[in-house]
Amino acid sequence: MDSYSLKSVSDLPDPFRSTFSFRYFNSLQSECFSACFHSDINMVISAPTGSGKTVLFELCILRLLSKFMSQEGKFVHTKGTLKTIYISPSKALVQEKLRSWNQKLGSWGIYCLELTGDNESYNIRNIQEADIVLTTPEVKFDSVTRFGIKDGGLSFFSDISLVLIDEVHLLNDPRGAALEAIVSRIKMIGRSPQMKTSPLAHVRFLAVSATIPNTDDLAEWLMVPTQGIKRFGEEMRPVKLTTKVFGYTPAKNDFLFEKRLQNYLFDLLMQYSSRKSALVFCSTRKGAQEAAQVLSQTAMTHGYSNPFIKSRDQQERLREASLSCGDKQMQSYILYGVGYHNGGLSPKDRSLIEGLFLNGDLQVLCTTNTLAHGINLPAHTVIIKSTQYYNKEKGIYTEYDRSMILQMCGRAGRPPFDDTGTVIIMTRRETAHLYENLLGGCELVESQLLPCVTEHLAAEIVQLTVPDITRAIEWMKCSYLYVRMKKNPQNYAIKKGLSGTHIEKHIQEICVQKVKELSDYQMIWTDEDGFVLKPLEPGRLMTKYYLKFDTMKHIMKAPLNCSIEDALHIVCRAEEISWIQLRRNEKKLLNDINSDKDGRLRFHILGDRGKIKKRIQSREEKLFILANDCLTGDPLAHDLSLTQDMNSVCSNGCRIAKCMKEYFIYKKNYKGALNSILLAKSLHQKLWDDSPYLLKQLPGIGMVTAKALQSMGVKSFESLSEADPRKIEMVTGRKFPFGNHIKESLLSLPPKVDMKVEEITCPNYGKSKLVVTLTRLSQSPQTKRHYADMVVAVEEDNLIVFHEKIRVEEFTSPYSATILVTSPLQGKLTVKADLIFEEFIGIDVHQKAILMKNIINYDIRHINATKKISLPQPTDVCIIDPECDYTPNVSTDRPDKPSNSKNEEAFMPSFKLLDEDSDEGEPVVENNNDDDDYAAAAADDDDNAAAVADDDDCKIITERTVFDHIREKAKSLPSLAAKPTAKYPPSEETLSLIRKRTRDRQLALNDAEEFLDLTEGFNPCEESSEPDKHIRSKIPTGESIFEHIRKKAKSFPRIDEIRSISSKPSNTDFDFDLFEDAKSNLIILDPEPVKPQLKEKSQKSPSLGNRQCCSLATAAETREGTDPFRGFKSVFSFL
């Protein structure tokens, strides 16, 4: 494009012109201006690195924001309604764009949100309010949106209007599978009928990449029209590059070869860098650090003629920077104009190094290949030290992709300062020819989704975007995998030459196979036909914690009584850290650590005979030893590569252990859940819970300070809170006010919480009721949220009966949870309650309660008068004595097993009632045989009657004394209530018979003939005799009734003694029944002897017998009736 055709910034609306600091767009930007800013078509742009593709992103953002422009030209913005998603493979590149766009768009109220591993201070509300979300694909955006609609993860999808994909050629990288899954998910949700009216239905894609040959495949995947495909070659590069390729003789192994290349770096820089800034790309962090060390040592030998130092001012600035650098090794390198940059640096040091390099004070920067995708740190010279890198997936050294080499080359040449740039590639002799014509383009971009399609398909099922098998096949067709399968089937294990129908059938087979695998391992549920797909809890957890399918299978196969050691072994077998290899030079140190002569380690690698293994032989054993060494708090492994491996184990292991915790809670497995929580916290803090260096968890306390505090006996948070700040300063050798700052670090702890476990009365049979009470004892001044898991479990059963996750600062104090636990049938049960904090070790709260087998106490004095009761009905005579003091006794005898007392003949049954708080027990009838002579007399009806009548001390009972006696007892009798036992529940037939008998008795009150028969035959001291026919035919009058009562009263025993005639103990089982109003005080009387003719009936229905019941309230009502004798009749009507 000619210069006169360049587009001007003035072509933009007035509010948008201040976005750009230049007047004209370059030729690439001018070519794409119309498609980016004046249309909404999808676009794919392939251009060299450094050609100004970022401006194209900004033009598309301005196109979206122009929809908020009013007719008057004012910008009226509604926050979060039209979202832009920017996806980049590098955290550093995300942060660079965040700074730039906040500066350019922040004045308009545009809210930019970073979603990377470096930013954890966000929530769903932040995402919903954000206008531009800048994220990395696999680490954050995919994992955040995997939480599903229920947790708010997908709630903002409907607002997505623009998706910007930077470095889209990284689909070729193993990390590209997550990017592919994200775009496929957006396309799938956008097609759903619910989204027809939302911006997502018309979402716009803009993807940019380095020079690639198959741009058309990307265009097909992103639904890009022909006019949206833009290809630019090397002519668009603003700075012309000169490429130099050097081939070297290979060494014995790849590691030694890379080390040998360090010796040539200084000479190459002197020859080609022209004393200008240079970037040295190394394959590993350790390699970058060693290269910086070699260059600084060589520069030091030159003294004042150091080629990397140009002036004294530069020397002074470097000296000041070295003092503020936290990395000790970096401090010495900076002084000589050399530094290194990798992901292991702290954010502060990383920012310091970047600033020094951009200002030109730092002449040489050794870095890893991740910087090629990261921030814009251009240099005049780029050296690629070795074209091989360690492939974590394959476990071997492999050649870089061409796209990766091009990314590194793209950092050469600084457009404002240089017209040319130099690229130096150091490789083996046999591979030198591969890089001589490198800049012509890179290899085809292939899909990497197939190896991990199981995990991504499970994620879609969990999010309900794939509810059945047809939608699963549709999701696969939305992927880049389907596009490349049709173009290059051999790369995906498909025969060449197959038609599109066969390719589609193969996709269906893949879907069905993966769905079956997920179903077999209970990750998802399918119907009988395998059509409907629904997520299960293990699948949700695998998706939530971003775990590999094989790792989740290891977790599900964990033993029931999973110990911390078992959980740590599962972590070490995880696929997420399978790329870590056992190197030959590490074995000696690992063997020494495992031998553990000082007894530091909690667990060891053991041999076949249970002894400590002398030789570490596998990757898993290496990881197990490294984790144990790290968790002591003072590891022996200080090698940089081992430290990096250790950090990977801890970061990934913490995530895996958290997933294990939730899985064990789902399975109600107490020991597994408890040990998984402790392991997750330990890996997060890199400390065991019994470590003497627990204070390292506090900010500002490192290993040196923790050891000094331990020497003065300060090992816990409690002892630190009581320590003297001045003594802390003396022991640590620090100045005032260091001790005060150390004590202030305790404020970062969560509030103190007290927990109590109490057993309370439970009315349910076979259950015990516990109340767990949490009381917050202090308030944390920190704004950071602290969470804790409250777990209540039965230790003997290894069963979780209650779990709740609480926010420690916000729960209502005191907070109580009521838990029902099955009572022990034998022995005792131990119920444990644990409050386990999510982050800190050493502050958990543990309580326990011992539940014993219930001992039933049938104490009638403790029964609540407002509760109903059902009572065993005796078949013996019982005359109540108002003077008698009832002292209830506890008996465990069953009713069908009468107690073998000293005297087998029963004198008077005593009725023991159920305690109101008891859940179980049986009514107990106990025979107290106090008078053998009287019991013997009861066998002879005539002699017994005479004996009672002739008793000198006998008091004659009149009608007035009977009613007075009833009134007196009515005042003191409680209302009796109990529930039927589990063994003798009242049946419907029993209850209906009782109701029928009650109605019959009420009718009998008005039947004078039956009344006379009953009173004539009533004798408490003798068996019923045949009624007199003459009396039965006589019509009763009031006088005759009282005469009859006076006559019969002579045979009553006196009131101050308890007399009853009881038959021999019967094998009839007593039962409980429910009766009238609970507020009525019940009295149970049954003086009628068992009639021989009812014996058979009693055996058939033991729950009935000859039991009678009457309410005193009923008796009072009948007394108030017209018949003055009705009340007395009612007394005898049930006898």
pLDDT digits (tens, 9 = 90+) for 555-570: 999 999 999 999 999 9
Grade residue 765 by pLDDT with cuts at 50, 70 and 90.
confident
Query: Which of 298-302, 794-798, 834-838, 968-972 has the weakest average pLDDT?
Result: 968-972
Q: What percent of the chain has pLDDT above 70?
A: 71
877 vs 86, higher pLDDT: 86
pLDDT computed for residue 416 by the predictor: 66
Contact in structure between 817 and 795 (CB atoms under 8 Å): no
What backbone torsions phi and psi does residue 922 show, to the nearest 5 degrees?
Answer: -125, 150
Residue 793 has pLDDT above 70, yes or no: yes
Q: Cα–Cα distance between 1000 and 600 in angstroms, integer?
A: 86
Grade residue 1119 by pLDDT with cuts at 50, 70 and 90.
very low
Q: Cα–Cα distance between 12 and 1104 in angstroms, integer?
A: 99
Residue 526 has pLDDT above 90, yes or no: yes
Task: Quote the crossing angle between the two packed helices 670-685 and 640-666, to the nearest 10°.
Answer: 150
Task: Quote the crossing angle between the two packed helices 312-324 and 347-359, to the nearest 10°.
Answer: 170
The mean pLDDT of 37-65, rounded to a whole number, is: 89
Query: Which of 546-560, 777-791, 935-949 has the weakest average pLDDT?
Result: 935-949
Kindly report the average pLDDT of the chain as a whole number: 76
pLDDT computed for residue 239 by the predictor: 79
Residue 481 has pLDDT above 60, yes or no: yes
Residue 1120 has pLDDT above 50, yes or no: no
pLDDT computed for residue 853 by the predictor: 72
866 vs 560, higher pLDDT: 560
Q: Which long-range contacts (CB under 8 A, 24 or more apart) does 520-525 make?
A: 521/549, 521/552, 521/553, 521/556, 522/556, 523/458, 523/549, 523/552, 524/458, 524/461
What backbone torsions phi and psi does residue 708 show, to the nearest 5 degrees?
Answer: -65, -45
> What does the block give as tokens for 63?
């196109």
- Name the amino acid, one letter, at 17: R
Residue 1083 has pLDDT above 50, yes or no: no
The mean pLDDT of 36-57, rounded to a whole number, is: 88
The mean pLDDT of 274-296, rounded to a whole number, is: 89
Q: What percent of the chain has pLDDT above 90?
A: 30
Residue 1130 has pLDDT above 50, yes or no: no
45 bridge partner residues: 208, 230
pLDDT computed for residue 1059 by the predictor: 39
Highest mean pLDDT among 40-49, 166-175, 829-838, 1028-1037: 829-838
Give per-residue pLDDT as tens, 889-931: 333 333 333 334 333 333 333 323 223 333 333 333 333 334 4
Grade residue 672 by pLDDT with cuts at 50, 70 and 90.
very high
Residue 447 has pLDDT above 50, yes or no: yes
pLDDT computed for residue 652 by the predictor: 92
- 864's CB contacts (< 8 A; 6+ apart) are 916, 975, 977
- Which whole-number Å values give the CA distances from 413 to 108, 166, 241, in the listed order? 34, 21, 7
Grade residue 1093 by pLDDT with cuts at 50, 70 and 90.
very low
pLDDT computed for residue 959 by the predictor: 65
Give per-residue pLDDT as tens, 313-336: 888 999 999 888 888 888 889 999
pLDDT computed for residue 440 by the predictor: 56
Ordered DSSP codes for 139-189: IIIHHHHTTTTTTTTTTTGGGEEEEEESSGGGGGSTTHHHHHHHHHHHHHH
> What does the block give as tokens for 991?
């209850």
Q: Cα–Cα distance between 482 and 505 in angstroms, integer?
A: 11
pLDDT computed for residue 185 by the predictor: 87
920 vs 422, higher pLDDT: 422
Task: Quote the crossing angle between the two packed helices 587-595 and 619-631, to the nearest 10°.
Answer: 50
How many residues would you count in the chain? 1135
The mean pLDDT of 114-139, rounded to a whole number, is: 76
Residue 1131 has pLDDT above 70, yes or no: no
- 848's CB contacts (< 8 A; 6+ apart) are 757, 795, 830, 831, 832, 833
The mean pLDDT of 977-983, rounded to a whole number, is: 41
Q: Cα–Cα distance between 464 and 980 in angstroms, integer?
A: 49
> What does the block give as tokens for 273?
């860098």
Residue 384 has pLDDT above 50, yes or no: yes
> What SS3 class is residue 534?
strand
Q: Which residue is listed with tokens 């030109």? A: 360
pLDDT computed for residue 438 by the predictor: 64
Q: Cα–Cα distance between 483 and 1054 in angstroms, integer?
A: 107
Residue 348 has pLDDT above 70, yes or no: yes
pLDDT computed for residue 854 by the predictor: 57
Grade residue 1050 by pLDDT with cuts at 50, 70 and 90.
low
What backbone torsions phi and psi does residue 341 show, to the nearest 5 degrees?
Answer: -140, 120
Query: Which of 147-161, 504-518, 611-625 has the weakest average pLDDT?
Result: 147-161
277 vs 825, higher pLDDT: 277
Residue 1075 has pLDDT above 80, yes or no: no
Q: Which residue is listed with tokens 């020497």? A: 711
> What SS3 class is residue 695?
helix
Report yes or no on whether pTM surpasses 0.75.
no
962 vs 1098, higher pLDDT: 962
- Name the amino acid, one letter, at 517: E
pLDDT computed for residue 632 by the predictor: 92
Contact in structure between 397 and 428 (CB atoms under 8 Å): no
User: Which of 368, 357, 241 has the alpha carbon at shortest distance from 308?
Assistant: 357
Give per-residue pLDDT as tens, 699-757: 889 888 999 998 888 989 999 999 999 999 899 888 888 889 998 899 889 999 999 99
Q: Cα–Cα distance between 363 and 338 in angstroms, integer?
A: 6
pLDDT computed for residue 996 by the predictor: 56
Residue 304 has pLDDT above 70, yes or no: yes
Residue 1107 has pLDDT above 50, yes or no: no
